[in-house]
Amino acid sequence: ALAAGNRAMLKLSEFTPATNAVLRRLLASCFAEEEVAVVEGGPEVAARFSALPFDHLFFTGSTAIGRQVMAAASQHLTPVTLELGGKSPCLIAPDIPLEFAIDRLLFGKCLNAGQICVAPDYVLLPRGQEEAFATAFQRAFARRYPEGLASADFTSVVNVAHYQRLTDWLAQASADGARVVPACEPARDDAAHRLAPHLLWGLPEQSPVMQQEIFGPLLPLIAYDSLDEAIAYIRARPRPLACYLMSLDAAVQARVIKEVHAGGMAINDTVFQVAVDDAPFGGIGPSGMGHYHGHEGFLTLSKAKTVLRRGRWSSGALIQPPYGWRQRLLLWLLLR
């Protein structure tokens, strides 16, 4: 934003006051407030912020709030960039070894306890591999986090409200008859609001964990009988911010790239597509609009202004009336 010649106002999340304090201090050491201003507050402040007549409004967050931001911006015809989320699938193809796929998947799901907009939201895997997947997932988790929830490298859920949301969804999944397998025991620490990754399968389609972006360490498993069925499952749902494919088969890779719509993709990895800072990043449809990162961000936060300059003579004189000889000259030039 600054490189493109703008000044910036930042509305920070009310859920992260300690991080906000650090950002305030760092930004104040570099910029005057009229260059970069920081705003904090809850939903009312966010609504007033979104209603200001900005030259451009950039929002990252949930799809539901993204709709509200876009509606507020429309009052001033303010252009928006929306980086939202949704339910990003991870498709495990029949050709890939489960251990290989889980090793790549686990990093993206456990990073920040799954509280990342591009974290894998659910897994599609060949039918009958659910139990083998769960066993291999538990082994991989134990290697990465040998002390389970007490591991220094594992993260708490951001606040009590979101922890309660996730544990409520877990309870609902059990009540609905789903198979629930935690990655480790103990599987939760209520005092520190730490929650182990939980694998769930056999969920009814109307379950909240199947309908809403999870943004946490819950991972539904969806069994499929054919690649056609798996691709159709993804295509029948709102377009996600990310799609992950685990396959070493070039033909399968080419097919999924061609047939699945998503903001971005990673093949045999998760999350790292966002780390390519000079590649465009953004969603599609319910997962967002517009691009940023690197040069794309500069273009998003710029406005190209065309300037046509004439001197004492203008070629436009050749097409101005009265046409007469000009028309004959133009026809002669066109027919040469």
User: CA geometry: angle at 228 spanning 224 and 230, to 5°?
Assistant: 40
251 CB contacts (<8 Å, ≥6 apart)? none
20 and 149, same domain (yes or no): no
Q: Is residue 315 part of a domain?
A: no
Q: Which residue has the tokens 């703008």?
A: 6
Band of pLDDT at residue 278, cut at 50, 70 and 90 = confident
Which residues are known to be catalytic?
83, 117
Number of Cβ within a 10 Å radius of residue 131: 11
Band of pLDDT at residue 323, cut at 50, 70 and 90 = confident
Segments forming the whole domain that contains residue 176: 89-281
Q: What is the mean pLDDT of the chain?
A: 95
Region of residue 77 (phi > 0: left; psi between -120 and 50: alpha; otherwise: beta): left
CA-based nearest residue to 315, from 335, 333, 298, 297: 333
69 and 116, same domain (yes or no): no
Q: Is residue 226 part of a domain?
A: yes
**DSSP character for 281?**
B
Looking only at Cα atoms, what is the longest distance across the chain? Answer: 92
86-130 pLDDT per residue, tens = 999 999 999 999 999 999 999 999 999 999 999 999 999 999 999
pTM metric for this prediction? 0.92
The rounded distance, in Å, linking the Cα atoms of 115 and 301 is 27
Q: What total number of domains does the chain contain?
A: 2
Read off the pLDDT of each residue in 74-78 and give the average, rounded to a whole number: 96
110 and 178, same domain (yes or no): yes
156-166 pLDDT per residue, tens = 999 999 999 99
Q: What is the CATH number of the domain that holds 12?
A: 3.40.605.10
Strands 80-83 and 288-289: antiparallel
208-241 pLDDT per residue, tens = 999 999 999 999 999 999 999 999 999 999 999 9
